[in-house]
Amino acid sequence: MALFRWGHSWDAFHDLEREVDRLLQSVNLSFQGLRFGRQYPPVNLYELPTEYLITAELPGVNSEELELTIANGVLSMTGRHASPEGTTEERYRRQERPRGVWQRSISLPDRVRSDNLSAEFVNGILKIHLPKAEEVKPRQIPVAFGT
Protein backbone atom coordinates (compact mmCIF):
# COMPACT_ATOMS: atom_id res chain seq x y z
CA MET A 1 0.00 0.00 0.00
CA ALA A 2 3.06 2.23 -0.18
CA LEU A 3 1.86 3.83 -3.39
CA PHE A 4 -1.30 5.13 -1.79
CA ARG A 5 0.50 6.51 1.19
CA TRP A 6 3.04 8.34 -0.89
CA GLY A 7 0.85 11.42 -1.17
CA HIS A 8 0.78 11.78 2.59
CA SER A 9 4.46 11.33 3.20
CA TRP A 10 4.87 14.99 4.21
CA ASP A 11 2.43 14.70 7.06
CA ALA A 12 5.23 14.21 9.54
CA PHE A 13 6.73 17.54 8.50
CA HIS A 14 3.41 19.29 8.89
CA ASP A 15 3.16 17.90 12.39
CA LEU A 16 6.62 19.16 13.17
CA GLU A 17 5.80 22.56 11.72
CA ARG A 18 2.68 22.77 13.84
CA GLU A 19 4.60 21.80 16.95
CA VAL A 20 7.27 24.43 16.34
CA ASP A 21 4.60 27.07 15.72
CA ARG A 22 2.90 26.13 18.96
CA LEU A 23 6.19 26.28 20.83
CA LEU A 24 7.05 29.72 19.46
CA GLN A 25 3.63 31.08 20.26
CA SER A 26 4.02 30.11 23.88
CA VAL A 27 7.17 32.23 24.17
CA ASN A 28 6.26 35.73 25.22
CA LEU A 29 8.13 37.96 22.80
CA SER A 30 6.86 41.29 24.03
CA PHE A 31 9.62 43.37 25.57
CA GLN A 32 8.28 46.49 27.11
CA GLY A 33 9.83 49.69 25.92
CA LEU A 34 11.87 48.01 23.26
CA ARG A 35 10.75 49.30 19.93
CA PHE A 36 13.59 48.46 17.67
CA GLY A 37 14.78 45.46 15.82
CA ARG A 38 11.33 44.61 14.61
CA GLN A 39 11.41 43.87 10.94
CA TYR A 40 7.66 43.48 10.63
CA PRO A 41 5.21 46.19 11.49
CA PRO A 42 3.28 45.37 14.67
CA VAL A 43 -0.43 44.83 14.30
CA ASN A 44 -3.34 44.98 16.74
CA LEU A 45 -6.73 43.46 16.13
CA TYR A 46 -9.93 44.72 17.76
CA GLU A 47 -13.54 43.68 17.66
CA LEU A 48 -16.42 46.12 17.61
CA PRO A 49 -20.15 45.35 17.48
CA THR A 50 -20.35 45.79 13.72
CA GLU A 51 -16.80 45.45 12.50
CA TYR A 52 -13.29 44.22 13.10
CA LEU A 53 -10.55 46.78 13.28
CA ILE A 54 -6.92 46.17 12.41
CA THR A 55 -4.35 48.81 13.32
CA ALA A 56 -0.72 48.67 12.25
CA GLU A 57 2.21 50.90 13.09
CA LEU A 58 3.74 51.94 9.78
CA PRO A 59 5.81 55.06 10.37
CA GLY A 60 7.79 56.10 7.32
CA VAL A 61 5.84 53.97 4.88
CA ASN A 62 4.62 55.80 1.80
CA SER A 63 0.89 55.38 1.29
CA GLU A 64 1.49 55.02 -2.45
CA GLU A 65 3.67 51.99 -1.79
CA LEU A 66 1.24 50.39 0.61
CA GLU A 67 -0.73 47.53 -0.85
CA LEU A 68 -3.65 45.77 0.81
CA THR A 69 -5.24 42.64 -0.58
CA ILE A 70 -7.77 40.20 0.79
CA ALA A 71 -8.37 36.65 -0.41
CA ASN A 72 -9.79 33.55 1.27
CA GLY A 73 -10.05 35.18 4.66
CA VAL A 74 -6.42 36.29 4.65
CA LEU A 75 -5.50 39.94 4.58
CA SER A 76 -2.10 40.73 3.10
CA MET A 77 -0.20 43.97 3.54
CA THR A 78 2.91 44.87 1.58
CA GLY A 79 4.94 48.02 1.84
CA ARG A 80 8.38 49.54 2.01
CA HIS A 81 10.08 51.61 4.67
CA ALA A 82 11.20 54.70 2.82
CA SER A 83 14.83 55.63 3.32
CA PRO A 84 16.48 58.83 2.15
CA GLU A 85 17.68 58.71 -1.43
CA GLY A 86 21.36 58.90 -2.13
CA THR A 87 22.54 58.56 1.44
CA THR A 88 25.48 56.22 1.61
CA GLU A 89 26.03 53.78 4.42
CA GLU A 90 29.05 55.57 5.85
CA ARG A 91 27.05 58.75 6.39
CA TYR A 92 24.91 57.06 9.02
CA ARG A 93 25.85 57.61 12.62
CA ARG A 94 22.86 55.68 13.92
CA GLN A 95 20.69 53.21 12.08
CA GLU A 96 17.91 51.79 14.22
CA ARG A 97 14.79 52.25 12.12
CA PRO A 98 13.66 49.30 10.03
CA ARG A 99 14.43 49.39 6.33
CA GLY A 100 13.35 47.65 3.20
CA VAL A 101 10.32 45.79 1.97
CA TRP A 102 8.02 43.93 4.35
CA GLN A 103 4.93 41.82 4.01
CA ARG A 104 2.38 40.61 6.53
CA SER A 105 -0.57 38.29 6.21
CA ILE A 106 -3.31 38.10 8.80
CA SER A 107 -6.00 35.45 9.01
CA LEU A 108 -9.28 37.15 9.67
CA PRO A 109 -11.16 35.77 12.66
CA ASP A 110 -14.57 35.52 11.08
CA ARG A 111 -16.43 36.17 7.90
CA VAL A 112 -16.09 39.76 6.84
CA ARG A 113 -17.58 41.59 3.94
CA SER A 114 -14.47 41.76 1.82
CA ASP A 115 -16.25 43.92 -0.75
CA ASN A 116 -16.76 46.63 1.83
CA LEU A 117 -13.36 47.24 3.43
CA SER A 118 -12.03 50.67 4.12
CA ALA A 119 -8.67 51.85 5.36
CA GLU A 120 -7.19 55.09 6.59
CA PHE A 121 -3.61 56.07 7.23
CA VAL A 122 -3.05 58.82 9.79
CA ASN A 123 0.19 59.72 11.61
CA GLY A 124 1.86 56.50 10.57
CA ILE A 125 -0.95 54.29 11.90
CA LEU A 126 -2.91 52.27 9.38
CA LYS A 127 -6.48 51.45 10.34
CA ILE A 128 -8.43 48.85 8.39
CA HIS A 129 -12.16 48.57 8.94
CA LEU A 130 -13.55 45.11 8.23
CA PRO A 131 -17.34 45.10 8.46
CA LYS A 132 -18.80 41.87 9.78
CA ALA A 133 -20.88 39.81 7.41
CA GLU A 134 -24.59 39.67 8.13
CA GLU A 135 -24.66 36.03 9.17
CA VAL A 136 -22.07 36.67 11.87
CA LYS A 137 -24.36 39.05 13.71
CA PRO A 138 -26.57 37.31 16.25
CA ARG A 139 -30.04 36.59 14.99
CA GLN A 140 -33.11 36.06 17.14
CA ILE A 141 -34.92 32.81 16.51
CA PRO A 142 -38.58 33.00 17.42
CA VAL A 143 -39.76 29.99 19.37
CA ALA A 144 -43.31 28.90 18.77
CA PHE A 145 -45.08 27.14 21.61
CA GLY A 146 -47.10 24.17 20.46
CA THR A 147 -50.16 23.12 22.37
Partner 1 sequence: MTTELTHTAKNGNAPAPHPPVERLVFTPPIDIYETDAGLILRADLPGVSLDTLDLQVQDNKLTLFGRMQPSVPDNARLLHQEYETGDFLRSFILSDEVDHQHIAAKLNNGVLEVVLPKADKPEPRRIPVQTS
Residues that bind partner 1 (CB under 8 A): 30, 32-36, 42-49, 52-53, 55, 57-63, 84, 87, 91-98, 109, 121-125, 127
Q: Which helix (H) or strand (E) holds 17?
A: helix 11-26
| Rounded least distance, CB 121 to partner 1, Å | 8
Residue with Cβ nearer partner 1 (14 or 35): 35
Residue 92 φ/ψ, nearest 5 degrees: -80, 135
Residue with Cβ nearer partner 1 (49 or 142): 49
Q: Which helix (H) or strand (E) holds 2?
A: helix 2-5
Residue with Cβ nearer partner 1 (59 or 73): 59
Q: What is the largest CA-CA distance in the chain?
A: 87
